[in-house]
Amino acid sequence: MVDYHAANQSYQYGPSSGGNGAGGGGSMGDYMAQEDDWDRDLLLDPAWEKQQRKTFTAWCNSHLRKAGTQIENIDEDFRDGLKLMLLLEVISGERLPKPERGKMRVHKINNVNKALDFIASKGVKLVSIGAEEIVDGNAKMTLGMIWTIILRFAIQDISVEETSAKEGLLLWCQRKTAPYKNVNVQNFHISWKDGLAFNALIHRHRPELIEYDKLRKDDPVTNLNNAFEVAEKYLDIPKMLDAEDIVGTLRPDEKAIMTYVSCFYHAFSGAQKAETAANRICKVLAVNQENEHLMEDYERLASDLLEWIRRTIPWLEDRVPQKTIQEMQQKLEDFRDYRRVHKPPKVQEKCQLEINFNTLQTKLRLSNRPAFMPSEGRMVSDINNCWQHLEQAEKGYEEWLLNEIRRLERLDHLAEKFRQKASIHEAWTDGKEAMLKHRDYETATLSDIKALIRKHEAFESDLAAHQDRVEQIAAIAQELNELDYYDSHNVNTRCQKICDQWDALGSLTHSRREALEKTEKQLETIDQLHLEYAKRAAPFNNWMESAMEDLQDMFIVHTIEEIEGLISAHDQFKSTLPDADREREAILAIHKEAQRIAESNHIKLSGSNPYTTVTPQIINSKWEKVQQLVPKRDHALLEEQSKQQSNEHLRRQFASQANIVGPWIQTKMEEIGRISIEMNGTLEDQLSHLKQYERSIVDYKPNLDLLEQQHQLIQEALIFDNKHTNYTMEHIRVGWEQLLTTIARTINEVENQILTRDAKGISQEQMQEFRASFNHFDKKQTGSMDPDDFRALLISTGYSLGDAEFNRIMSVVDPNHSGLVTFQAFIDFMSRETTDTDTADQVIASFKVLAGDKNFITAEELRRELPPDQAEYCIARMAPYQGSDAVPGALDYKSFSTALYGESDL
């Protein structure tokens, strides 16, 4: 040890002084400059100054006594620089330059400067502290200098979980005192006033020295004195503060408390080896717990998704038709809700489930854990198979609904047409059977008989004219049967009744004609004009009835061409009206001629025309009705034409949008395929690019929403075809879902590559080299390769492969035996071959440290050394230790550690 002598020389130590001596670093200087700069213009709080004097003096003496000396007054005893240099030699273990002899001021300043230079050489930046202030006995500057020394040599190297200095010391205190009631260390002032934190630190490491349960929070003086006395007596930590100094101050000095606590830290530093081991175990257990949570989440999500699919498929496979259009339209609306509301979240759940599964497998591989095998029936492939079944059921469901609505629409139209024709026919046949059965010819005169014969001929003509309507009624009934009309029974009953009645009318007509013909020879007089009128009036009347029926006939069309065809047919019908009007006038002229002849020959006509019931009034009335129905028909056809024009506009509108969206989706799918193979730049650049690409895709969603709105308008208008585009809404939806799923999977692949790179320490250049090699041998550019291409890739990277070695590698990169090797599996394999991770042996060694070199560990030791949740995790899973040296409650940490890495079962 050098004999230091006083000197006397002025020297100012400024902010620029510093260095990078042994054990030093820039972080300490920064900490000093930012948080502990001693402002020469301000005064210390008197209570704090007192605490610092006492604490710093005790701390200095705890080191100086090793050199056989001590100080009494901190701002006086360091003024000559000799004891200051001696203190630095003791705490650093290094020799300082020889001090200058002499007691002049310049000698003192030079000696202090040598001490300050040594401090600066350790990487400490001294701000506003100069040699002159120390030599002059400036208490504030002297305390600041001592605090700088304490920070550098007693606190700076404290590190807990990659923190340092003040934060590391605070985290150490929090960890050690966490199990103790009434202790909550948040700082280095208020948290220590009641003395419980000091006692907790001692009890945690030396429980035999403190009866912690007997301490009371409301008696801080007793608590503090107890901790300080025990520390001085048993731990060789000098008493640096009085209990009254701490209790009597509103806010104890932080630097004094930190200095005192750092002595406890160094006194117990021997326990750091156990803490390091505990930290390793905590890290391994945290990984295992997180993986178990991910496995449980996967099982739960997979079960929920599969249950939803199993509930939905029977609903989509239900093809039982309803009886009415309204019921079928409700089913269609339910299906739309399913596509818009219920299915999209499930698509996202399925995609997220696959991403979670891939991320979990990556984490398991990175931590040397066995691959996760979901429970039976919940593999990703099982979910994909069920999803395909769902989409197969869904694919035919909408088409069936639309076809069924079209069928019911056709049925309603046919049923109404049947009822209309049947009603007209039944009205015509009303009373005909009674008329044909009447035996009026037996008592009639010859002229009456002649009239009856003519009347019967007119009836037969009318009957023949109605044959077509009866055939139409039967044809419509047959079509309703073929289309499975729900009320076919009543239709068939009514049709059969009409047909039976028609046959009866035919038979009765034949019988009556035979009866009339028997007396025909006796009937010679006939009114030819009445007969001619009757013959022409009946067909004309029937034509008018048919015309009225046609003008009132319902129509259903689906295209503009169909309605234009009906309009053309209607125009053609209107062109025949002048000829019909002339026929009407001719028939009425016959009637007038008969009346004129009767009147001119003084013939008294007995009532109406005996040959027909079709009077001129009926003809004129029906003709007027026809004239009224024509413009109504015009209006109906024009309305339908406008509707079809609107439908055509909807078709073109949808086609225009679909012809843009469809190719856009296809282009994006192709671009994603290229991006996933030709990725350039860093993985972060690729991830950023992909996420920007994903946002551009998501931003395109309003175009699909617009297309959905247009598609709904088309379905609400019951439009079933569109010749202007090859894209259906179903194609667009499937393409969009595949696009979202593909970009999400590609992003997940890059995220997993980043996770692998960071965990394994793979450089960007290595990752790019892996990608270039993989792309070169990925001949089909699909992102995966078969075993032959993969073998060629391995050979190109320097592997010498036999069949046994190659089969081992394939079992690693393709555990499911799919016959394909992905890029993620390739980089996992390459990183595993070149990097180091925690192993089962390392974990066993860590447990052995905590167990005090025993082959077993107790629950009490686990609870003392590990955080509560991880300690209980181990206790719940460790089997009892079966060795001959076992004690009650001994646990087997070796089998537990190997089980973590899949090498044995718990």
HEC secondary structure over 205-246: HCHHHCCHHHCCCCCHHHHHHHHHHHHHHHCCCCCCCCHHHH
Say whether 301 sits in a helix, a strand or coil.
helix
> How far is residue 543's CA from residue 584's CA, in Å, rounded to a whole number?
11
| 873 phi and psi angles, rounded to 5 deg | -60, -45
> How far is residue 735's CA from residue 255's CA, in Å, rounded to a whole number?
66
Say whether 15 sits in a helix, a strand or coil.
coil
> How far is residue 515's CA from residue 54's CA, in Å, rounded to a whole number?
149
Biggest CA-to-CA distance, the chain: 179
Q: Where in the chain is the domain with CATH 1.20.58.60?
A: 283-410, 660-831
What are 857's strand-pairing partners?
Answer: 891
Checking DSSP bridges between strand 857-858 and strand 821-822, what pairing results, if any?
Answer: unpaired
Among candidate residues 44, 52, 29, 66, the one with its CA nearest the CA of residue 258:
52
What are 785's strand-pairing partners?
Answer: 821
How distant, in Å, are the alpha carbons of 44, 52, 57, 158, 192 from that of 49? Answer: 6, 5, 12, 25, 18
pLDDT score for 191: 92
> How far is residue 349's CA from residue 355's CA, in Å, rounded to a whole number?
10
pLDDT score for 18: 33
pLDDT score for 445: 56
Cα atoms in the Cβ-side hemisphere of radius 13 Å centred on 270:
6
pLDDT score for 187: 93
What's the chain's Rg over C-alpha atoms? 53
Contact by Cβ (8 Å): 562, 482: no
> How far is residue 335's CA from residue 312's CA, in Å, rounded to a whole number?
11
Task: Give the fold, CATH level 3, of 660-831.
Answer: Methane Monooxygenase Hydroxylase; Chain G, domain 1 (1.20.58)
pLDDT score for 442: 62
> How far is residue 339's CA from residue 268's CA, in Å, rounded to a whole number?
66
Contact by Cβ (8 Å): 389, 462: no
Which two structure tokens, joined as six digits, stand for 139? 């208490």
Residue ranges, the chain, pLDDT below 50: 1-43, 522-526, 603, 904-906
Cβ neighbours of residue 473 under 8 Å, at least 6 residues apart? 418, 421, 422, 425, 495, 498
> How far is residue 446's CA from residue 704's CA, in Å, rounded to a whole number?
86
Q: Which amino acid is at 879?
A: A
- In the chain the first and final C-alpha atoms are separated, in Å, by 61
> What DSSP string describes 389-400?
HHHHHHHHHHHH
Q: Which CATH superfamily is domain 840-901 in?
A: EF-hand (1.10.238.10)
Q: What is the pLDDT of residues 569-624, one digit of tens each?
A: 888 888 888 999 998 999 888 888 777 765 765 545 666 777 788 888 898 998 99
> How far is residue 302's CA from residue 771's CA, in Å, rounded to a whole number?
32
| Domain range 283-410, CATH class | mainly alpha
Among candidate residues 67, 54, 241, 80, the one with its CA nearest the CA of residue 143:
54
How is residue 441 annotated by DSSP? G
| CB neighbour burial string for 756-776, b if at least 16 within 10 angstroms, e if fewer | bbebbebeeebbeebbebbee
- Residues recorded for the chain: 906
Which two structure tokens, joined as six digits, stand for 454? 């003519």
Neighbours of 899 (CB within 10 A): 17
> How far is residue 639's CA from residue 637's CA, in Å, rounded to a whole number?
5
Location of structure tokens 């000098």: 238
Which two structure tokens, joined as six digits, stand for 50? 């007192």
Which two structure tokens, joined as six digits, stand for 114? 């040598």
Say whether 347 sits in a helix, a strand or coil.
helix
pLDDT score for 180: 93
Q: The whole model's pTM is what?
A: 0.46
Which two structure tokens, joined as six digits, stand for 312? 């939905």
Neighbours of 371 (CB within 10 A): 12
> How far is residue 146's CA from residue 253's CA, in Å, rounded to a whole number?
15
Measured over the CA atoms of residue 438, residue 443, residue 448 and residue 450, the dihedral's sign is positive
pLDDT score for 198: 94
Among candidate residues 535, 713, 563, 696, the one with its CA nearest the CA of residue 641:
563
> How far is residue 467's CA from residue 461's CA, in Å, rounded to a whole number?
10
Which two structure tokens, joined as six digits, stand for 420? 């209309």
> How far is residue 329's CA from residue 332's CA, in Å, rounded to a whole number?
5
Task: Output helix, strand, coil percentages for the chain, rounded to the nearest 5.
Answer: 70, 0, 25
How is residue 904 annotated by DSSP? S
Apex 95 CA angle, 90 and 98, nearest 5? 115
Say whether 8 sits in a helix, a strand or coil.
strand
Axis-axis angle for helices 165-177, 26-35 (nearest 10) = 90
pLDDT score for 273: 63
> How far is residue 699's CA from residue 743's CA, in Å, rounded to a whole number?
14
> How far is residue 532's CA from residue 590's CA, in Å, rounded to a whole number?
8
pLDDT score for 220: 93
| 250 phi and psi angles, rounded to 5 deg | -60, -40
Among candidate residues 738, 719, 599, the one with its CA nearest the CA of residue 670:
738
Q: What is the pLDDT of residues 160-171, one digit of tens each?
A: 666 667 888 898
Among candidate residues 401, 318, 412, 407, the one with its CA nearest the CA of residue 715:
401
> How far is residue 658's CA from residue 722's CA, in Å, rounded to a whole number?
11
